[in-house]
Amino acid sequence: MRCAVLFAALVLAAGPVHAQGSRAASTGDLPAGFELWSSARVKETSDRLEKTIGDKPIIFETIGNWEGHSVYLVLRGKTAEAEFHETESDVYIGQRGHATFIIGGEMVDPKSLPRKQKRGPSIRGGIARDLRAGDVLHVPKAIPHQLVIAPGEQFMYLLFKLDEEPLAGLDPHELVPKKPSEQR
């Protein structure tokens, strides 16, 4: 299953997808859970996110949430907190901009969150790697990691969350319970 998700990620990141004339399936023929974001839709959404981020640290568009995995188009405008996912792996595919990725080391002052996660202000002793558009990285489960964004820069990426803990009742922006008015 993970191989299929990663393959789909690489296909999505690689470029345009075109229907094959009369052989294209109608919407009613598609299996439940199928999702296709055309390159035009990804570009349109990317442009909209860039126009609306303002001074926010992060905004994102959910491409899809399925049992055990999700896909997001994420734009970071500021350095993120360090993260640690006990059961989840991440795959990042850089789309626009630049960031420094810190992995490994020790989280400073970690705080436990729902979904077997921890967050903290930084990482001590991690390894830094430069990230740009087109770069692909995999973050194994249970490894501290952090995206560092230089002042005045942004970094946009596709994020694939694998072996994801259920999101039910949580605001994915904050990982806290949704307000009753926001729950579906």
Check residue 169 and give its pLDDT: 60
Check residue 77 and give its pLDDT: 96
Residue 60 lies in a domain: yes
pLDDT tens for 18-60 read 333 334 456 678 898 888 999 999 999 999 999 999 999 999 9
pLDDT at position 120 over 70 = yes
Among 18-27, 49-58, 154-163, 169-178, the range scoring the smallest mean pLDDT is 18-27
The DSSP 8-state label assigned to residue 27 in this structure reads G
CATH of the domain at 146: 2.60.120.10
Overall number of domains in the chain: 1
Residue 174 lies in a domain: no
Residue 24 lies in a domain: no
What is the mean predicted confidence (pLDDT) over 149-168? Answer: 88
Check residue 178 and give its pLDDT: 44
Residue 30 lies in a domain: no
Percent of the chain at pLDDT exceeding 70: 75
Shortest CA distance to 150 belongs to which of 72, 97, 82?
Answer: 97
Among 9-13, 66-70, 170-174, the range scoring the smallest mean pLDDT is 9-13
pLDDT bucket at 67, cuts 50 / 70 / 90: confident
pLDDT at position 17 over 50 = no
In the chain, alpha helices (H): 2-14, 39-52
Residue 11's SS3 state is helix
Residue 23 lies in a domain: no
pLDDT at position 115 over 60 = yes
Residue 129 lies in a domain: yes
pLDDT at position 113 over 50 = yes
Could you list the beta-strand ranges (E) of 15-148: 58-66, 69-76, 82-85, 89-103, 106-108, 111-113, 117-120, 122-124, 127-132, 136-139, 145-148
Domain of residue 78, residue span: 2-15+35-166
pTM summary value: 0.77
